[in-house]
Amino acid sequence: MSAHAPILAIAVPLLGGFATPLLAKLHKRIRDLWVLLIVLFVGVAVGYVAVHVFTQGIWVYVLGARHPQETVVSGGFPIRIMLVVDAMGAFMGVITALMALVAFPAALKYLPEEEGKTLALTLGSLLLAGIMGMAYTGDLFNFFVFLEVTSIAACALIGFRTWTSRAPEAAFKTMLLFSVSGLLFLLAVAFLYGEYGALNLAYVSVLLRGSAVDRLALALFLGALLMKAAAAPVHFWAPDAYGEAPAVKALLLVVNTQVSLYGLWRVLFTLYGGILDTTVGWLVVAMGLLTMVVAAFMALAQTDLGRLVAYGAVSQIGYMLLGVGVGLVTMSGRPDYGLVAMKGGIFHMLNDALTVGLLFLCVAAVELVKGTRDLRELGGLGHGLPEVALFFLVASLALAGIPPLNGFASKILIYEGSFRASPILAAVAVLTSILLLAVFARAFQGAFLGPRVNVEVRVPWPILVSMGVLAVGILILGLVPGFFVEAMVTPAAKALWLGRSLYLSAVLGG
């Protein structure tokens, strides 16, 4: 089975998700065990793929053939569907599996049976399958298919609680934006297919020549993926989506946003890397600055703890765009600081998943105990929930980039690389982090400080364990970041910045 790990990481949660409602009819414990087995299997499969890729190089898995060479005919034309996992794809898979391993056990204790627990678990499994498919596929049309799988599952996960007043509205808004995003992506694929008669990403990349059709397709790709990644000014669906989905499931929605960024990196570096100019890089940098600043200022006005955390999550997308955007700007000359900025942006994807994930679990705990997330009705919870208060404080400091936590480890790389590109970029990023620190300090004070209040409901231990795992990850990545940067982040950054030729030769030969 190890030889089929890439496809199994996609197929098992996809098929297992459809089986979940059937097993729930037998017994709820069988359903819960089934969901845990799915997540554990995905974690093992993703771990195996990551070890293989980081130690041996790109893994090309061909559906219906044993070797990539059997699928390439004259002219290097691939005739079968392929999964292509390089270091960047493996890194995205690790982030996804890690957050699934944390989110699903917490969801089993957080979601009430009478409020659609089986449906939420099913949708979560389908969302996991779609994210893994986007991370591993080497085919443009299949990327679109998995993009749509994630859109459908995410929208349903946001809006299935129809008895609330805002969930259907948030789901409709998200569905509208996701539909436009999918349409733009499909049009881009259609233009390239009409021009070159192929869908394999590596093969199309070789054929691109910078024509008007190519540039139009690039614009459509940018619009689609930036919209799905919640970059400003098309970010407004994300706070509603994160805020109205079950808080423990918001962890997967965060990863869903990040895998759209991964798709953007794949398009810009691998598909268009041979013909891209610096204009697109500066556009990505500008979108990053706009996203971090707008989201941070919007967080200032929030009184709902969930929406405040959601805007904090959106702001971190800006840091990823800034770091990788600097790499795009400098890709032609490839100075050292361009790679440093890219390492920071990619490392921040992992750090953001851990940090924002912990914040959303804290929101879940607060809502579970008090039945509200309104900061005007909260206060004093630090006396009855000291562990939750501590976790929220650690995550808030990490999000703001305070040393020695993981957010500082990735942001300092972004600051260093962007400063050498332009001091203004680093200044805006630092000032935004200071603003976020003030925002989350206010949130901590509003929720956890003040006179003692009675806490009659205890936070279930699986949620506390999930929170503890993320908190430990935040501390380890902050205290000893060098190991992870060298072992995982640097190969992932080089796979994009320097590895296009390796990607193409792995698929097409030669």
Higher pLDDT, 235 or 216: 216
The predicted structure's pLDDT at residue 488: 94
User: Any idea which residue has 């049009």 for tokens?
Assistant: 187
pLDDT at 250 over 90: no
Closest CA to 110 of 246, 253, 254, 310: 246
Q: DSSP labels for 369-398?
A: HHS--BTTT---HHHH-HHHHHHHHHHHHH
The predicted structure's pLDDT at residue 510: 59
pLDDT in tens, 312-327: 999 999 999 999 999 9
pLDDT in tens, 362-373: 998 888 888 788
CA distances 84 to 178, 327, 406, Å, are 25, 23, 29
- For 299, residues 6+ apart whose C-beta sits below 8 A from its C-beta are 308, 311, 312, 315, 436, 439
Please give, one letter per residue, the 3-state secondary structure of 39-54.
HHHHHHHHHHHHHHHH
Are the C-beta atoms of residues 217 and 191 closer than 8 Å to each other? yes
pLDDT in tens, 2-54: 788 999 999 999 999 999 999 998 888 999 899 999 999 999 999 999 999 99
Residue 73 pLDDT class (50, 70, 90 cuts): low
Phi, psi of 102 (to 5 degrees): -90, -40
The predicted structure's pLDDT at residue 65: 67
Phi, psi of 453 (to 5 degrees): -125, 155
Residue 332 pLDDT class (50, 70, 90 cuts): confident
Are the C-beta atoms of residues 292 and 428 closer than 8 Å to each other? yes
Closest CA to 59 of 89, 92, 94: 89
Please give, one letter per residue, the 3-state secondary structure of 462-508.
HHHHHHHHHHHHHHHHHHCHHHHHHHHHHHHHHHHHCCHHHHHHHHH
Residues composing the chain: 510
pLDDT at 69 over 60: no
- Determine the Cα–Cα distance for residues 23 and 78; give it in Å rounded to an integer: 40
Span 411-433, average pLDDT: 94
pLDDT in tens, 443-494: 999 888 877 777 777 888 888 999 999 999 999 999 999 899 999 999 999 9
- Determine the Cα–Cα distance for residues 234 and 327; give it in Å rounded to an integer: 23
Burial per residue of 315-326, b for 16 or more beta-carbon CB atoms within 10 angstroms, e otherwise: bbbbbbbbbbbb
Higher pLDDT, 79 or 34: 34
pLDDT in tens, 399-410: 998 989 998 999
The predicted structure's pLDDT at residue 424: 94
The predicted structure's pLDDT at residue 108: 85
Question: Percent of the chain having pLDDT more than 70?
Answer: 96
- Determine the Cα–Cα distance for residues 449 and 443; give it in Å rounded to an integer: 10
Are the C-beta atoms of residues 178 and 154 closer than 8 Å to each other? yes
The predicted structure's pLDDT at residue 346: 95
User: Any idea which residue has 């996701």 for tokens?
Assistant: 178
Among 75-79, 134-138, 353-357, the range scoring the smallest mean pLDDT is: 75-79
pLDDT at 1 over 70: no
pLDDT at 249 over 80: no
- Count of alpha carbons within 13 Å of 264, Cβ hemisphere only? 31
Measured at the alpha carbon of residue 10, what is the angle toward residues 28 and 259, in degrees to the nearest 5?
105
- Determine the Cα–Cα distance for residues 101 and 47; give it in Å rounded to an integer: 12
Span 188-202, average pLDDT: 93
- Asked if the bond preceding 233 is cis, omega within 30° of 0, the reply is yes
Higher pLDDT, 415 or 371: 415
pLDDT in tens, 148-172: 999 999 988 888 777 666 778 888 8
pLDDT in tens, 90-106: 999 999 999 999 999 88
pTM, whole model, 2 decimals?
0.93
- Determine the Cα–Cα distance for residues 507 and 201; give it in Å rounded to an integer: 9
Average predicted confidence (pLDDT) for the chain: 89
Maximum C-alpha span of the chain:
76
CA 465 centroid distance within chain: 22
CB atoms within 10 A of CB 295: 26
pLDDT at 62 over 90: no
CA distances 457 to 387, 442, 460, Å, are 14, 25, 9
Residue 206 pLDDT class (50, 70, 90 cuts): very high
